[in-house]
Structure 1
Amino acid sequence: MESNQTPEPSPSHQSQSSEWQQDLINRLAFSALNEQRRTRRWGIFFKFLLFVYLVAILLLYTPSVDLDPGAKARHTALVELKGIIAPDEDASADNVITGLRAAFENENAAGVILRINSPGGSPVQAGYINDEIKRLRKENPDTPLYAVIADICASGGYYVAAAADKIYVDKASIVGSIGVRMDGFGFVEAIEKLGIERRLLTAGEHKGFLDPFQPAKEADIEHVKSLLSDIHQQFIEVVRSGRGDKLKDDPNLFSGYVWTGEQAIELGLVDEVGSSSHVAREVIGAETIVDYTPSEDFFEKFSKRFGTALGRGIGQVLSGGYQLR
Structure 2
Amino acid sequence: MSDEWKASAGDDKSWKLLEKTLLASVQEQRRSRRWGIFFKVLTFVYLFGALLIFSPAMKMQGAATSGDGHTAIIEVRGMIADRELASADNIVGSLRKAFEDEKTKAIILRINSPGGSPVQSGYIYDEIRRLRAEHSEIKVYAVITDLGASGAYYIASAADEIYADKSSLVGSIGVTAASFGFVETMEKLGVERRVYTSGEHKAFLDPFQPEKEDERVFWQGVLEATHRQFIDSVKKGRGERLKDAEHPELFSGLVWSGEQALALGLVDGLGSTSYVAREIVGEANLVDFSVQETPFDRFTKRLGASVAEHLAMWMGFQGPTLR
Q: Is the TM value for this pair above 0.5?
A: yes
Alignment gaps of 5+ in structure 2: 1-44
Provide the C-alpha distance between the structure 2 equivalents of 1:208 and 1:225, rounded to a whole number of angstroms: 16
Q: Which piece of structure 1 moves more, 186-195 or 292-301?
A: 292-301
The 8 Å contact of residues 173 and 260 in structure 1, kept in 2 or not, is answered as yes
The alignment partner of 1:295 has SS state of strand
Provide the C-alpha distance between the structure 1 equivalents of 2:202 and 2:148, rounded to a whole number of angstroms: 35
* Paired letter, 1:284: V
Provide the C-alpha distance between the structure 2 equivalents of 1:72 and 1:65, rounded to a whole number of angstroms: 21
Q: Is the counterpart of residue 82 in structure 1 residue 77 in structure 2?
A: yes
Trace 1:75-224 onto structure 2 (pairs within 5 A): 75-224=70-219
The alignment partner of 2:226 has SS state of helix
Provide the C-alpha distance between the structure 2 equivalents of 1:57 and 1:255, rounded to a whole number of angstroms: 48
The alignment partner of 1:76 has SS state of strand
How far is 1:98 from its partner? 1.4
How far is 1:144 from its partner? 0.4
How far is 1:315 from its partner? 1.6
Would the alpha carbon gap of residues 205 and 251 (structure 1) be closer, same or farther in structure 2, given more than 3 Å must change?
same
* Paired letter, 1:204: G
Trace 1:11-90 onto structure 2 (pairs within 5 A): 56=52, 60-61=56-57, 63-70=58-65, 73-90=68-85
TM-score in terms of structure 2 length: 0.80
Counterpart in 2 of 1:272?
269
Counterpart in 2 of 1:300?
297
Provide the C-alpha distance between the structure 1 equivalents of 2:94 and 2:278, rounded to a whole number of angstroms: 21
Counterpart in 2 of 1:234?
229
The alignment partner of 1:286 has SS state of coil
The 8 Å contact of residues 182 and 320 in structure 1, kept in 2 or not, is answered as no
The alignment partner of 2:159 has SS state of coil
Counterpart in 2 of 1:22?
none
Counterpart in 2 of 1:324?
322
The 8 Å contact of residues 109 and 140 in structure 2, kept in 1 or not, is answered as yes
The 8 Å contact of residues 87 and 125 in structure 1, kept in 2 or not, is answered as yes
Provide the C-alpha distance between the structure 2 equivalents of 1:140 and 1:116, rounded to a whole number of angstroms: 22
The 8 Å contact of residues 157 and 238 in structure 2, kept in 1 or not, is answered as yes
Counterpart in 2 of 1:289?
286
* Paired letter, 1:201: Y
The alignment partner of 1:142 has SS state of coil
How far is 1:278 from its partner? 0.8
Counterpart in 2 of 1:25?
none
CA deviation profile, 1:63-107 (whole Å, cap 9, x unmatched): 422334426641111100011111121111111111111111111
The alignment partner of 1:189 has SS state of helix
Provide the C-alpha distance between the structure 2 equivalents of 1:198 and 1:71, rounded to a whole number of angstroms: 66
Provide the C-alpha distance between the structure 2 equivalents of 1:197 and 1:235, rounded to a whole number of angstroms: 40
Provide the C-alpha distance between the structure 1 equivalents of 2:179 and 2:86, rounded to a whole number of angstroms: 24
The alignment partner of 2:240 has SS state of helix
CA deviation profile, 1:130-166 (whole Å, cap 9, x unmatched): 1110111011000000000100000000000000000
Identity score, percent: 51
* Paired letter, 1:138: A
Give the number of aligned pairs.
274
* Paired letter, 1:315: A
Q: Which structure has the greater CA radius of gyration? A: 1
Provide the C-alpha distance between the structure 2 equivalents of 1:106 and 1:117, rounded to a whole number of angstroms: 25
How far is 1:319 from its partner? 3.9
TM-score in terms of structure 1 length: 0.80
CA deviation profile, 1:39-76 (whole Å, cap 9, x unmatched): xxxxxxxxxx9xx97x9489643x42233442664111
Provide the C-alpha distance between the structure 2 equivalents of 1:176 and 1:278, rounded to a whole number of angstroms: 22
Provide the C-alpha distance between the structure 1 equivalents of 2:283 and 2:91, rounded to a whole number of angstroms: 22
Q: CA RMSD in A?
A: 2.1
Provide the C-alpha distance between the structure 2 equivalents of 1:59 and 1:241, rounded to a whole number of angstroms: 41
User: Pick from 251, 273, 295: which aligns with 2:248?
Assistant: 251
* Paired letter, 1:221: R
Which contiguous aligned blocks of 4+ residues in structure 1 show a shift greater than 6 angstroms? none
